[in-house]
Amino acid sequence: MNAKKSLFFNLAAALLIGMTALACRAAIGVIPTPTPTPLPPTNTPESTPTPALTSSPTSSPTIPPPTPSQTAEAASPIDLWYAYRNYNFGFELRYPPGSNFTVNLPNTARLDLPFELGTNLVEKYLEINAQEYFGRCLSPLMESLPPEALNLETLVIEPLTFEVMSFSEGAAGSRYDWTAYAVHDEDTCVTLDFVLHSSNPDNFPTPPPSFDAELESRVFNQIVQTFVWLAP
Protein backbone atom coordinates (compact mmCIF):
# COMPACT_ATOMS: atom_id res chain seq x y z
CA MET A 1 0.00 0.00 0.00
CA ASN A 2 2.80 2.33 0.90
CA ALA A 3 4.61 1.39 -2.31
CA LYS A 4 1.64 2.35 -4.47
CA LYS A 5 1.33 5.67 -2.77
CA SER A 6 5.01 6.31 -3.21
CA LEU A 7 4.76 5.45 -6.93
CA PHE A 8 1.76 7.74 -7.36
CA PHE A 9 3.49 10.60 -5.68
CA ASN A 10 6.58 10.05 -7.82
CA LEU A 11 4.58 10.05 -11.05
CA ALA A 12 2.71 13.15 -9.98
CA ALA A 13 5.90 14.87 -9.06
CA ALA A 14 7.50 13.92 -12.37
CA LEU A 15 4.47 15.13 -14.27
CA LEU A 16 4.46 18.38 -12.36
CA ILE A 17 8.16 18.89 -12.99
CA GLY A 18 7.73 18.16 -16.71
CA MET A 19 4.86 20.59 -17.05
CA THR A 20 6.82 23.23 -15.20
CA ALA A 21 9.77 22.74 -17.49
CA LEU A 22 7.62 22.99 -20.53
CA ALA A 23 6.01 26.16 -19.30
CA CYS A 24 9.41 27.69 -18.69
CA ARG A 25 10.69 26.77 -22.14
CA ALA A 26 7.56 28.18 -23.74
CA ALA A 27 8.02 31.35 -21.82
CA ILE A 28 11.52 31.82 -23.19
CA GLY A 29 10.52 30.76 -26.74
CA VAL A 30 12.28 27.43 -26.70
CA ILE A 31 9.27 25.34 -27.53
CA PRO A 32 8.72 25.43 -31.29
CA THR A 33 5.27 26.65 -32.13
CA PRO A 34 3.57 24.69 -34.83
CA THR A 35 3.55 26.59 -38.13
CA PRO A 36 0.25 26.34 -39.96
CA THR A 37 0.60 24.28 -43.04
CA PRO A 38 -0.99 26.15 -45.98
CA LEU A 39 -3.82 24.34 -47.52
CA PRO A 40 -3.40 23.35 -51.12
CA PRO A 41 -5.14 25.72 -53.48
CA THR A 42 -8.61 24.70 -54.33
CA ASN A 43 -9.53 24.56 -57.96
CA THR A 44 -12.03 27.34 -57.99
CA PRO A 45 -13.40 27.87 -61.46
CA GLU A 46 -11.96 30.97 -63.01
CA SER A 47 -14.53 33.50 -63.98
CA THR A 48 -14.20 33.82 -67.68
CA PRO A 49 -14.50 37.45 -68.65
CA THR A 50 -17.80 38.20 -70.22
CA PRO A 51 -17.21 39.92 -73.55
CA ALA A 52 -18.37 43.49 -73.51
CA LEU A 53 -21.44 44.06 -75.61
CA THR A 54 -20.37 46.44 -78.32
CA SER A 55 -23.15 47.91 -80.43
CA SER A 56 -22.29 46.93 -83.95
CA PRO A 57 -23.21 49.62 -86.46
CA THR A 58 -26.49 48.93 -88.15
CA SER A 59 -27.10 49.80 -91.75
CA SER A 60 -29.18 52.91 -91.12
CA PRO A 61 -29.88 55.15 -94.08
CA THR A 62 -27.21 57.74 -94.65
CA ILE A 63 -28.52 61.26 -94.61
CA PRO A 64 -26.81 63.21 -97.36
CA PRO A 65 -25.46 66.63 -96.52
CA PRO A 66 -27.95 69.37 -97.15
CA THR A 67 -27.76 70.87 -100.58
CA PRO A 68 -29.20 74.21 -101.59
CA SER A 69 -32.89 73.65 -102.14
CA GLN A 70 -34.11 74.37 -105.60
CA THR A 71 -36.73 76.89 -104.72
CA ALA A 72 -39.29 77.39 -107.37
CA GLU A 73 -38.74 80.72 -108.98
CA ALA A 74 -41.52 83.16 -108.46
CA ALA A 75 -43.64 83.49 -111.54
CA SER A 76 -42.91 86.63 -113.50
CA PRO A 77 -45.89 88.98 -113.81
CA ILE A 78 -45.58 88.61 -117.58
CA ASP A 79 -46.24 84.88 -117.21
CA LEU A 80 -49.69 85.79 -115.87
CA TRP A 81 -50.54 88.03 -118.81
CA TYR A 82 -53.04 87.15 -121.48
CA ALA A 83 -52.00 85.93 -124.92
CA TYR A 84 -52.98 87.52 -128.22
CA ARG A 85 -52.51 85.21 -131.20
CA ASN A 86 -52.96 86.19 -134.81
CA TYR A 87 -53.18 82.97 -136.80
CA ASN A 88 -53.72 84.81 -140.07
CA PHE A 89 -50.24 86.32 -139.98
CA GLY A 90 -48.65 83.86 -137.55
CA PHE A 91 -47.50 85.77 -134.47
CA GLU A 92 -48.24 86.09 -130.77
CA LEU A 93 -47.71 88.56 -127.95
CA ARG A 94 -48.86 89.00 -124.36
CA TYR A 95 -50.64 91.90 -122.69
CA PRO A 96 -51.39 92.78 -119.06
CA PRO A 97 -54.68 92.27 -117.20
CA GLY A 98 -56.98 95.26 -117.26
CA SER A 99 -56.51 95.72 -121.00
CA ASN A 100 -59.42 95.70 -123.42
CA PHE A 101 -59.63 95.11 -127.18
CA THR A 102 -61.80 97.74 -128.82
CA VAL A 103 -60.86 96.60 -132.34
CA ASN A 104 -59.88 93.05 -133.26
CA LEU A 105 -59.65 92.33 -136.97
CA PRO A 106 -57.39 89.90 -138.89
CA ASN A 107 -54.97 92.64 -139.95
CA THR A 108 -55.42 95.25 -137.23
CA ALA A 109 -56.35 95.48 -133.57
CA ARG A 110 -56.52 98.14 -130.88
CA LEU A 111 -55.82 97.27 -127.28
CA ASP A 112 -56.62 99.85 -124.61
CA LEU A 113 -54.07 99.54 -121.80
CA PRO A 114 -54.59 100.38 -118.11
CA PHE A 115 -52.99 103.57 -116.77
CA GLU A 116 -52.88 105.64 -113.63
CA LEU A 117 -55.93 107.83 -113.17
CA GLY A 118 -55.99 111.36 -111.77
CA THR A 119 -53.49 112.85 -114.22
CA ASN A 120 -53.77 114.57 -117.58
CA LEU A 121 -53.36 111.21 -119.37
CA VAL A 122 -56.56 110.53 -121.31
CA GLU A 123 -55.82 107.12 -122.80
CA LYS A 124 -53.04 104.65 -123.42
CA TYR A 125 -53.34 102.05 -126.13
CA LEU A 126 -51.57 99.72 -128.53
CA GLU A 127 -52.35 99.43 -132.21
CA ILE A 128 -51.32 96.13 -133.84
CA ASN A 129 -51.01 96.12 -137.60
CA ALA A 130 -50.03 93.23 -139.86
CA GLN A 131 -49.54 93.06 -143.60
CA GLU A 132 -47.47 91.32 -146.22
CA TYR A 133 -43.84 92.24 -146.33
CA PHE A 134 -42.65 93.84 -149.57
CA GLY A 135 -39.14 94.91 -148.62
CA ARG A 136 -40.15 97.76 -146.32
CA CYS A 137 -41.81 97.50 -142.91
CA LEU A 138 -43.08 100.78 -141.50
CA SER A 139 -45.79 101.66 -139.02
CA PRO A 140 -48.76 103.66 -140.34
CA LEU A 141 -47.67 106.35 -137.88
CA MET A 142 -44.24 106.45 -139.53
CA GLU A 143 -45.72 106.64 -143.00
CA SER A 144 -47.54 109.85 -142.07
CA LEU A 145 -44.26 111.65 -141.44
CA PRO A 146 -41.97 113.21 -144.02
CA PRO A 147 -38.88 111.12 -144.81
CA GLU A 148 -36.56 113.60 -143.11
CA ALA A 149 -38.44 113.11 -139.84
CA LEU A 150 -37.84 109.37 -139.78
CA ASN A 151 -35.18 108.62 -137.23
CA LEU A 152 -35.20 104.87 -136.81
CA GLU A 153 -33.29 103.00 -134.14
CA THR A 154 -32.56 99.30 -133.98
CA LEU A 155 -33.65 97.16 -131.06
CA VAL A 156 -32.43 93.56 -130.93
CA ILE A 157 -34.39 91.10 -128.82
CA GLU A 158 -32.91 87.78 -129.83
CA PRO A 159 -33.66 86.40 -132.28
CA LEU A 160 -35.71 89.35 -133.52
CA THR A 161 -34.68 92.80 -134.72
CA PHE A 162 -37.07 95.73 -134.41
CA GLU A 163 -36.92 99.16 -135.97
CA VAL A 164 -38.09 101.68 -133.39
CA MET A 165 -39.12 105.31 -133.60
CA SER A 166 -40.69 107.74 -131.11
CA PHE A 167 -42.49 110.96 -131.96
CA SER A 168 -44.78 113.56 -130.44
CA GLU A 169 -47.48 115.64 -132.06
CA GLY A 170 -50.40 117.73 -130.85
CA ALA A 171 -53.82 118.81 -132.03
CA ALA A 172 -56.71 120.77 -130.48
CA GLY A 173 -55.36 120.80 -126.93
CA SER A 174 -54.30 117.15 -127.04
CA ARG A 175 -50.88 115.60 -127.23
CA TYR A 176 -49.94 112.23 -128.73
CA ASP A 177 -46.66 110.66 -127.72
CA TRP A 178 -46.12 107.44 -129.60
CA THR A 179 -43.47 104.80 -130.04
CA ALA A 180 -43.65 102.43 -133.00
CA TYR A 181 -41.92 99.04 -133.26
CA ALA A 182 -41.65 97.31 -136.64
CA VAL A 183 -40.54 93.71 -137.19
CA HIS A 184 -40.77 91.39 -140.17
CA ASP A 185 -39.91 87.95 -141.42
CA GLU A 186 -39.75 86.83 -145.06
CA ASP A 187 -43.48 87.21 -145.62
CA THR A 188 -45.05 89.38 -142.92
CA CYS A 189 -44.59 92.88 -141.52
CA VAL A 190 -45.98 93.57 -138.03
CA THR A 191 -45.97 96.96 -136.32
CA LEU A 192 -46.75 97.67 -132.68
CA ASP A 193 -47.71 101.29 -132.11
CA PHE A 194 -47.95 102.47 -128.51
CA VAL A 195 -49.76 105.77 -127.95
CA LEU A 196 -50.01 108.04 -124.90
CA HIS A 197 -52.84 110.51 -125.44
CA SER A 198 -52.81 113.34 -122.94
CA SER A 199 -54.59 116.68 -122.62
CA ASN A 200 -53.22 120.13 -121.98
CA PRO A 201 -53.53 120.76 -118.24
CA ASP A 202 -54.40 124.39 -118.97
CA ASN A 203 -57.69 123.21 -120.48
CA PHE A 204 -59.01 122.37 -116.98
CA PRO A 205 -60.27 124.83 -114.33
CA THR A 206 -58.10 122.93 -111.86
CA PRO A 207 -55.12 121.59 -113.79
CA PRO A 208 -54.46 117.91 -113.03
CA PRO A 209 -50.90 116.70 -112.41
CA SER A 210 -48.95 115.64 -115.46
CA PHE A 211 -48.62 111.92 -116.00
CA ASP A 212 -45.35 110.07 -115.53
CA ALA A 213 -44.28 109.31 -119.10
CA GLU A 214 -41.48 106.96 -118.07
CA LEU A 215 -43.76 104.95 -115.79
CA GLU A 216 -46.56 104.69 -118.33
CA SER A 217 -44.19 103.72 -121.14
CA ARG A 218 -42.51 100.93 -119.21
CA VAL A 219 -45.05 98.36 -120.30
CA PHE A 220 -44.37 99.03 -124.00
CA ASN A 221 -40.99 97.31 -124.01
CA GLN A 222 -42.35 94.51 -121.83
CA ILE A 223 -45.05 93.73 -124.37
CA VAL A 224 -42.58 93.88 -127.24
CA GLN A 225 -40.36 91.34 -125.51
CA THR A 226 -43.21 88.81 -125.56
CA PHE A 227 -43.57 88.95 -129.35
CA VAL A 228 -42.87 85.65 -131.13
CA TRP A 229 -43.54 84.21 -134.56
CA LEU A 230 -45.76 81.16 -134.49
CA ALA A 231 -44.33 77.97 -135.86
CA PRO A 232 -45.78 77.22 -139.31
Give the type of residue at 52. A
What CATH number does the domain located at 82-229 have? Answer: 3.40.1000.10
Question: Average pLDDT for residues 137-142, to the nearest whole number?
Answer: 92
Confidence of residue 219 (pLDDT cuts 50, 70, 90): very high
67-118, pLDDT tens digit by residue? 333 334 455 688 899 999 999 999 999 999 999 999 999 999 999 999 999 9
Which pLDDT score is estimated for 203? 84
Distance of alpha carbon 193 from alpha carbon 145, whole angstroms: 14
Question: What's the distance, Cα to Cα, between the start and end of the chain in Å?
Answer: 166
165-200, pLDDT tens digit by residue? 999 988 788 999 999 999 999 999 999 999 999 999
pLDDT mean across residues, the chain: 78
Which pLDDT score is estimated for 208? 92
Helices and strands (H and E) in the chain: how many: 3, 10
220 contact partners, CB below 8 Å, separation of at least 6: 126, 179, 181, 194
Q: Where are the domains of the chain?
A: 82-229
Q: How many CB atoms lie within 10 A of CB 90?
A: 17
